[in-house]
Chains A and B, each alone.
Chain A
Amino acid sequence: MNEQVLNVNHLKKGFGKMEVLHDISLTVSRGDVYGLVGQNGAGKTTLLRLITGLMKPSGGSVIIHTEKDFVGYMPQSCRFDNGASVADTIRFFAFIRRANCEMGFSLCKKLELDIAKKVKHLSPGQQKKLQLVIAMTGEPDLYILDEPTAGLDPNATYEMTNMIESIHKDGKSILISSHILQDMDEICTNIAILEKGNLIYSRELEGSYMIKTEPIPRRIYEVLVQKYSLACNENRTILNVKTDKNGVSELVKALAIDSIGIFEVSSSNVKTIVQEQMHIGGGEL
């Protein structure tokens, strides 16, 4: 499961003198669902557009290791040809991807999307569903989804999340950006946080634990960091450790020996990671 699908190396993007993305590096492996989180203007959409090749980087590189020459890209919003029907739209994209359109039709049936309906008569939620169906046409190995649940009602959000989970179950890799942290928690295996064009956090969620403590003296932290895969906040009161359950027990014991008070030990989730890393509250950015 460690086969790399996407390598982003020291990626930079500037518009004139203003640099909006600074030295971004990340790797997506086969089967990863990589969540990209950040406030408005952090550079999420720009990063996704650089990865898809829609924008050219000012520096660095993007390497996609997939057999197919297309990716399943779902932009924030998309309005296909008004005069065409859902079926026509699916047929068009299936043709240019040299794929079968039957899969798209069956997905529409599953999502209760009438293929005879004209695109101009679709509601915003149905438009999003069609976008996902188009992204899935030809079964690409890598999906890049930009705010797939933005503007959807709870029911449509649930359906969309289920679809993304089914893509993940098929062993595909997904890079997804969203403001809604709860959605990310349900589907992501990895999380990356962008702040003002910098990648400030990037880690696998499974096997990640968070320990809230009293402030840890720097010398003790420096010893611990040599033994464990650790990250912490500015005051060294919140540790994110990537280890198994035994590793967490060991770390807790080590902290107790150094007389560091421990308030909470829990599995990491997107919401808490984002809150701690970005010093914010709430479930939506």
Chain B
Amino acid sequence: MNGTLLKLTLRDIRSALSFRTFLIWIAMAGMAVFFFFTSAGRTELVNENKVEFMTLFLPQIIFGAWAVLSVYFDLVSSDREHNVLDCILCSGITKKQIFTAKTLTTAVVSLILSFIYLLPITAVIVLLSELSNAMLLVRYLLPLWGYIMVFAAMGVIISVLARSSKAALIWSLAVGLILMPRFFMIIVEGLGSAFHWSHGVIDGVSMIAPGVLMNALSDFENTTNLLNGIIGFSSGVLILFTISYLVFCRQDEYNYGE
């Protein structure tokens, strides 16, 4: 039972960590280094030995949703489209086992992606300052992992709902655009002024944006924000995975090709 789950998970990890994934995430890490030098990040570090959140995560704030969704949008839809899911299900494997393997895959791969993103920028920071700044990697690894997991859970739900990789890709692009933190906050502010929301409500709704949550989660000094971040990420991931699981178990298996 556990061996089977491990085998299924390893297969999914192999397919998620494709050449495309590495290419996108190495580019993201490269962008992080580039933005660090071109923004005030380097100056602040050299002069004040301080690293601002935004200087580290600007590429994530702009492209994060797409970069994460590009890894997970075909996690289920690809197997379904190619009828491999049918062959696995007819081999005595339950949907519960398949979904558990997919969930474990998102957790492991997201951690690897966080590491890929943070390693080059941390190395640059250490080279420019002191070794103790290597702790930045530890400080931001889990918040970034949580941030990626929210989009990963969205990727899984898209992958379950869409019956082909092409449909999943289109949905991912649309969802990625809406969830870009800057764009999302503009939408929330627009809704707030249309419905006369107070600043408190607008701030609260804005917290749904994973980028905003990640900022809160990496702010260890502000306990309220940290707690909000943890609760926001955990409940978001949990709700999205639960919906995906329930939908997946109730779905009939067929694809558009048939």
A interface residues, Cβ below 8 angstroms from B? 45-46, 49, 52-56, 68-73, 75-81, 83, 92-93, 95-97, 131, 134-135, 138, 144
Contacts and interface: CB of A to CB of B under 8 A. Distances in A.
Contact of A75 (B14, B86, B92): B86
Interface in B51-103: 82-84, 86-93
17 contacts: A45-B254, A46-B254, A52-B89, A52-B90, A54-B90, A54-B254, A69-B92, A70-B91, A71-B90, A73-B90, A76-B83, A78-B83, A78-B84, A80-B87, A81-B15, A93-B87, A96-B8
Contacts of B257: 76-77
A91 to B, nearest CB: 9
B11 interface: yes
Contact of B82 (A54, A72, A79, A83): A79
Contacts of A56: 252
A136 to B, nearest CB: 12
Contact of B253 (A54, A78, A93): A54
Contacts of B93: 96
Contact of B252 (A54, A69, A73): A54
Interface residues of B, number: 24
* 5 nearest A-B pairs in the assembled complex, by CB-CB distance: A73-B90, A54-B253, A70-B92, A69-B92, A79-B82
B222 to A, nearest CB: 45
A46 B252 CA distance: 10
A83 B88 CA distance: 17
Contacts of A68: 92
Contacts of A95: 3-4, 7
Given A54-B253, A138-B91, 9 more contacts: A55-B252, A73-B86, A76-B83, A76-B257, A78-B82, A79-B83, A93-B87, A131-B87, A144-B90
Contacts of B82: 78-80
Contacts of A72: 90
Contacts of B11: 81, 92
B87 A73 contact: yes
A151 B210 CA distance: 48
B86 A134 contact: no
A96 B254 CA distance: 22
Given A52-B90, A54-B89, A77 B83 contact: yes
A83 B15 contact: yes
Interface in B21-76: none
B253 A55 contact: yes
Contact of A78 (B14, B15, B86, B92): B86
Nearest to B3: A95
Contacts of B221: none
